[in-house]
Amino acid sequence: MTNRFMPMDGNPAADDRAGPHVVVVGAGFGGLEAAKTLGRAPVRLTVIDQRNHHLFQPLLYQVASATLSPADIAAPIRQILKRQANTEVLLAEVGAVDLDARKVRFEDGGELDYDFLLLATGASHSYFGHDAWAKFAPGLKSLEDACEIRRRFLLTFEQAEREPDPEARPALLTYAVVGGGATGVELDRAGRVIVASDLSVPGHPEVFVIGDLASFSHGVETPLPGVAPVAVQQGRAAARSILASLAGQSRESFKYHDRGSMATIGRGTAVARVGPTCFNGYLAWLAWLFIHLIQLVGFQNRVAVLLNWCGAYITTQRRARLILKQCPRPGKDD
């Protein structure tokens, strides 16, 4: 059994294309950036993900807080890469990698050969040995997680509405937040792969690990955090290293260029750091809106998010207040 199929955009199967086979596992920020960089390269490119959509994780909390709908921050992977004639996309879960045989093996049975492998699967949240916390503090890494948090959040209002004891209602509407950092940066180093300066696995120059899965500490005081800008730059750098190897050239060491950070801290208020300059308030908030809009994948998503933000700002109402037992997956295969 194999997992190959005819891509839905009508491109020929990858076996019919010439060039070395590059396999990218994971279509998050890093994997997608690497795939785009290799889009016109003389390679056969296969992108594998266990979901059929790319998720814009920086806005995931806005789905959890009922500001945005799941489809607003997700886009089908095949739609994003449909213009790349050298690329096919597989919906599958990789269960193991045989480094010596250069094969990735799927959970459902098939396998795939590669000449170069790029692992960008991300990382899951951790309870640091306290798994009992999961019942009370669900993670926030996927759309399913966000919808579950939204469901619990909205149900407390429904429960408070029916509570006859006015003194008991405040307890139902009291929420605790542990930790004040942005989501996605809570990784210690457990479970991350220590990589070489060119993002390859030591002893296997044909295998790269990027994003949350990688522990990169070359030329920096502490390992780089698992945030989107790091993954994007690493995806681009790993793709360039593959191209350099194909051209018989030496690889460059990866250097992260920190362009700053920003976060919203309230209605019309944000904090931002761009290089050595720090600013806050309404100007920082507008900058935060602009940066996140231009980074969203897909024109329709940008328009939808902009309209939702405008509506929420003007009316102070949250539009996506649906209580669902199960979160629908956005982005059907095109």
Residues 191-213: what's their mean pLDDT?
93
- Specify the pLDDT at position 181: 58
Instruction: Please report, rounded to a whole number, the percentage of residues in the chain having pLDDT higher than 90.
Output: 52
* Tokens encoding 65: 């807080």
31/47 Cα distance (integer angstroms): 8
- Specify the pLDDT at position 76: 94
Contact assessment for residue 77 and residue 52, using Cβ atoms and an 8 Å cutoff: yes
Instruction: Domain ranges for the chain, please list them.
Output: 14-126+184-246, 146-182+259-315
| Residue 22, beta-bridge partner list | 45, 116
- Using alpha carbons only, give the angle 163, 169, 175 rounded to the nearest 5 degrees: 130
Contact assessment for residue 139 and residue 124, using Cβ atoms and an 8 Å cutoff: yes
Q: For residue range 179-188, what is the model confidence (pLDDT) as tens digits?
A: 665 543 343 7
261/263 Cα distance (integer angstroms): 7
72/56 Cα distance (integer angstroms): 9
Q: For residue range 300-327, what is the model confidence (pLDDT) as tens digits?
A: 889 989 988 888 888 877 777 777 776 6
- Specify the pLDDT at position 117: 98
Question: Would you call 252 a catalytic residue per the annotation?
Answer: no
Q: Is 131 helix (H, G, I), strand (E, B) or coil?
A: helix
Q: Of 167, 186, 221, 252, which residue is the catalytic one?
A: 186
Would you say residue 193 has pLDDT above 50? yes
Neighbours of 264 (CB within 10 A): 17
Residues 240-263: what's their mean pLDDT?
93
pLDDT band at 298 (very low <50, low <70, confident <90, very high): confident
- Specify the pLDDT at position 327: 62
Q: For residue range 60-86, what is the model confidence (pLDDT) as tens digits?
A: 989 998 889 899 999 999 999 999 999
14-126+184-246 sits in which CATH class? alpha beta
Q: For residue range 95-146, what is the model confidence (pLDDT) as tens digits?
A: 999 999 999 999 999 999 999 999 999 877 777 788 888 888 888 888 988 9
Compute CA distances 220 → 86, 204, 225, 227, whole Å. Answer: 36, 23, 11, 16
pLDDT band at 10 (very low <50, low <70, confident <90, very high): very low
Say which DSSP state 136 is in. Answer: T
Strands in 169-250 per DSSP E: 193-194, 200-201, 204-209, 214-215
Burial (CB < 10 A; 0-12, 13-18, 19+), residue 94, is: buried
Q: For residue range 160-169, what is the model confidence (pLDDT) as tens digits?
A: 999 999 999 9
What's the longest Cα–Cα distance across the chain? 75
* Tokens encoding 127: 């309870």
Strands 214-215 and 193-194: parallel
Strands 116-119 and 21-25: parallel
Q: For residue range 215-225, what is the model confidence (pLDDT) as tens digits?
A: 898 988 888 88
Compute CA distances 171 → 38, 138, 156, 175, 189, whole Å. Answer: 53, 19, 10, 9, 37
- Using alpha carbons only, give the angle 297, 302, 303 rounded to the nearest 5 degrees: 145
Q: What does the mean pLDDT of the chain come to? A: 85
pLDDT band at 263 (very low <50, low <70, confident <90, very high): confident
Neighbours of 108 (CB within 10 A): 10
Q: Is 149 helix (H, G, I), strand (E, B) or coil?
A: helix
